Amino acid sequence: MSVSSNNQPSDPRTPPASADVVVVGAGFSGMYLLHRLRAMNLSAIVFEAGTDVGGTWYWNRYPGARVDVESLAYSYSFSEELEQEYEWEERYPTQPEILRYAQHVADRFDLRRDIYFRTRVTAAVYDENHATWTIRTDHGDAVTARFFVMATGCLSASKLPEIPGLSRFQGATYHTAHWPHEGVDFTGMRVGIIGTGSSGVQSIPVIAEQAADLTVFQRTPAYSLPARNRRLRPEEIAEMKANYRAFRQAQRESGFGLPTPIPTQSALEVSEEERNAVYEKAWEVGSLVAILTSYTDLTTSQEANDTAKAFVHRKIREIVKDPQTAEDLCPDYPLGTKRPCLDTNYYETYNRDNVHLVNLRRTPIVKITERGIRCSDREYEFDAIVYATGFDAMTGALTNVDIRGRDGLSIKEAWRAGPRTYLGIASAGFPNLFMITGPGSPSVLSNMIVSIEQHVDWVLDAIGHLDRNGLKAIEPTVEAQDAWVDHVNEIASYTLYPKANSWYMGANVPGKPRVFMPYAGGVGEYRKKCDEVAARGYEGFVLS
């Protein structure tokens, strides 16, 4: 089976043999790292598997791909000039619009000259005697660096489903995270799509408009909220530009990296009528967090969450005309415990004559065949199959590289029972290795750009501290790491998150340890903790 990807020739340049810092990934993390490293007069090399910058927004080109955080908030804050000069078009921009922004940043700050594109990092080994990392690429190059930063993103190691016969299908096959750059024309085709996470929810309405027939194979229904996307109005752009500093500060102090009114009441304290009026208003806003932040206890109390769940179920039943399809689309887990989606016409799409839903809980997929997909009750024939089956989230991109720390310790081995980090930034046994938005940091429970900037700033401050003090290495202690992992688990245990089989828990990858990976204490609290660690001379780290 060939999952379409881009097969470009490799970067013709040979990287220098050494640098102060090697960064993997030229997404939003890698670009900001490079910009700041240059300002610190440190030499840096960035390796990137794609042919251009953008990370997630370079790879995920499926039809309908959009960000679900508003553009004016999902953007860098480090340059006021950039903030003021950039003109966003839509409230929730399409993938091409965000990619244009990333490319603009690369041009504006002249980033590409230190980025080696079409280059995949395969291995990295720490040399304790010299306190250096040697990083190897798929072109056979090796670079030695004092510091090694994995800026590889939380959702970048894509995943095909474990279904027998994947390679047998004779029609076209696509994965949403490796969409052909030239696009796909489904006109007149019978298309099957597996997966109803954000990628499925966003692409299904668009593919349905093109394809002759679209069959959606759903294992777990998503909670999807209407995006209410639109073009930005000049006056709201001007208002944000006039108030950006205060807004950015509020982002940094907030729970999700998005300033939202702080709820004061329990959902159970108010009448059903009042609650439903509040949910109705939140439904109209078009935001991932508006419902969840309506009351204090929606992420912590099952009973409170049930009220929001019932509200969304009612909405689904109102929109979807066929009663059985509507029932199949109603999720049974608490709202917010799997990543919710923002959509444009998702539920409405199931009212189209050419769209069919297969509930895999009733009729599981048995295998992929030459002609299509065989479920327990029948075979479906297709011209094309789309896999919207997601990622080996949060750890996949880190463990896909053969990273060897002190005494040859492999990160894959060290994390066999689940990722172990201190602050989601560093891991014991791997000195001078930093992760941007790693497991144990707020990462995917936040506006990623807010978290990325905070991590990059913290990591580069730490490197600056080492350099100013003539120190060569930084590594968390096992005790500090154990305490952090316990803290992350403890916070998760106060929430409903562990109740769903989500990729937050590693539940979508067979055999992956069931551990809640992101830090659920909020980006404001988390930032405070990171700042305290630094202010106390990097408490919990050994500096040498």
CA distance 207 to 317: 23
Q: Is the dihedral of CA 230, 235, 240, 241 positive or negative?
A: positive
Smallest separation (angstroms) from ligand NA7 to the CB of 109:
26
Question: Of 6, 34, 52, 9, whose CA–CA distance to 139 is shortest?
Answer: 9
Spatial separation of the C-alpha atoms in residues 438 and 496, rounded to whole Å: 22
- The binding track of 372-391 with respect to ligand NA7, each residue x by CB under 6 A or -, is ----------------xxx-
Footprint (CB under 6 A) of ligand NA7, residues 417-456 = none
Minimum Å distance from CB 274 to ligand NA7? 31
The answer to the question of residue 197 lying near ligand NA7 (CB under 6 A) is yes
The distance of closest approach from Cβ of residue 215 to ligand NA7 in the complex, given in angstroms and rounded to an integer, is 13
The least distance separating ligand NA7 from the CB of residue 203, rounded to whole angstroms, comes to 9
Q: Which of residues 135-194 bind ligand NA7 (CB under 6 A)?
A: 155, 161-163, 176, 194
Tell whether residue 195 is a contact of ligand NA7 (CB under 6 A): yes
Indicate the length of the chain as a whole number.
544
Nearer to ligand NA7, 514 or 529 (CB): 514
In this chain, which of 132, 196, 215, 224 binds ligand NA7, going by CB under 6 A? 196
Burial class (CB in 10 A: 0-12, 13-18, 19+), 539: exposed
| Residue closer to ligand NA7 (CB basis): 421 or 508 | 508
Between 162 and 322, name the residue whose CB sits nearer to ligand NA7.
Answer: 162
Pick between residue 40 and residue 166 the one whose CB is nearest to ligand NA7.
Answer: 166
Rule CB under 6 A: is residue 349 a binding residue for ligand NA7? no
> Judged by CB under 6 A, which of 30, 200, 205, 334 binds ligand NA7?
200
Q: What H or E segment, with its residue span, contains residue 143?
A: strand 142-150
CB of 217 to ligand NA7, least distance (A): 6
# chain residues binding ligand NA7, by CB under 6 A: 22
CB of 300 to ligand NA7, least distance (A): 21
For the chain, first and last CA: distance in Å?
50
Record the tokens describing residue 65, joined without a space. 């791909």
* CB burial string 448-481: b at 16+ within 10 A, e below: bbbbbbbbbebbbbbbeebeeeeeebbbbeeebb
CB 508 to ligand NA7: min, Å: 4
Contacts with ligand NA7 in 480-509 (CB under 6 A)? 503, 508
User: Which of 219, 406, 465, 512 is the binder for ligand NA7 (CB under 6 A)?
Assistant: 219
Report the nearest approach of ligand NA7 to the CB of residue 389 (Å): 4
The 300-339 contact track toward ligand NA7, x by CB under 6 A, reads: ---------------------------------------x
The one-letter amino acid code at 30 reads G
Q: Does 199 engage in binding with ligand NA7 (CB under 6 A)?
A: yes
Q: Who contacts 39 (Cβ-Cβ below 8 Å, separation ≥6)? A: none
Per-residue string for binding with ligand NA7, 503-542, x by CB under 6 A? x----x----------------------------------
Tell me how far, at minimum, the Cβ of 66 lies from ligand NA7, in Å. Answer: 10
Which CA distances in Å does 434 have to 361, 423, 471? 41, 11, 16
Nearest to 400 by CA among 160, 124, 146: 124
Please count the CA atoms within 13 angstroms of the CA of 318 that sit on its side-chain side. 6
> Which residue number, 195 or 431, has a Cβ lying nearer to ligand NA7?
195
Q: CB–CB of 195/387 below 8 Å?
A: yes
Give the separation between CA 462 and CA 426, rounded to whole angstroms: 12
CB of 420 to ligand NA7, least distance (A): 23
CA distance 93 to 181: 18
**Whole-number Å distance between alpha carbons of 2 and 172:** 8
Assigned token pair, 305:
């969450």
Q: Which two tokens stand for residue 131?
A: 């306190």
- Residue closer to ligand NA7 by CB (options 194, 423) is 194
Q: Rounded to the nearest 10 degrees, how much is the dihedral formed by the CA atoms of 251, 60, 436, 531?
A: 0
196 or 437: CB nearest ligand NA7: 196
Residue ranges binding ligand NA7 (CB under 6 A): 155, 161-163, 176, 194-200, 219-220, 339, 360, 365, 388-390, 503, 508
